[in-house]
Amino acid sequence: MTTLKAEFGVATAVLWHIVPDANGAALCHRLLSSIAEVRPMTDADGEDIEVSQLCPHCRTALERAPRETDDQS
């Protein structure tokens, strides 16, 4: 399961990174604190977390990742 993890910057600006649970690094390869705030991917719907708050490198990596299918063949 993939989650969002916060990176806090100057003046409390937040950048959310996409982090696979099995790996401590974000899709952009940034290592984030193990105690960083975590949110579910469903919060990246534009209502809870705006697209502009998502790491652009993580977004690109997610868009390029192969999609899992439900095919049982």
Domain assignment present for 26: yes
Whether pLDDT at 21 is above 90: no
pLDDT computed for residue 27 by the predictor = 93
Stretch (H or E) spanning 38: strand 38-40
Percentage of residues in the chain having pLDDT higher than 90: 36
Domain assignment present for 59: yes
Domain housing 33: 2-64
Domain assignment present for 69: no
Whether pLDDT at 65 is above 70: yes
Domain assignment present for 20: yes
| Closest of 16, 12, 39 to residue 26, by C-alpha | 16
| Closest of 66, 14, 62, 72 to residue 38, by C-alpha | 14
Task: Tell me how many domains the chain contains.
Answer: 1
pLDDT computed for residue 68 by the predictor = 64
Domain assignment present for 73: no
Domain assignment present for 70: no
pLDDT digits (tens, 9 = 90+) for 23-55: 678 999 999 888 888 999 999 888 889 888 999
Residue 72: exposure state from Cβ atoms within 10 A (0-12, 13-18, ≥19)? exposed
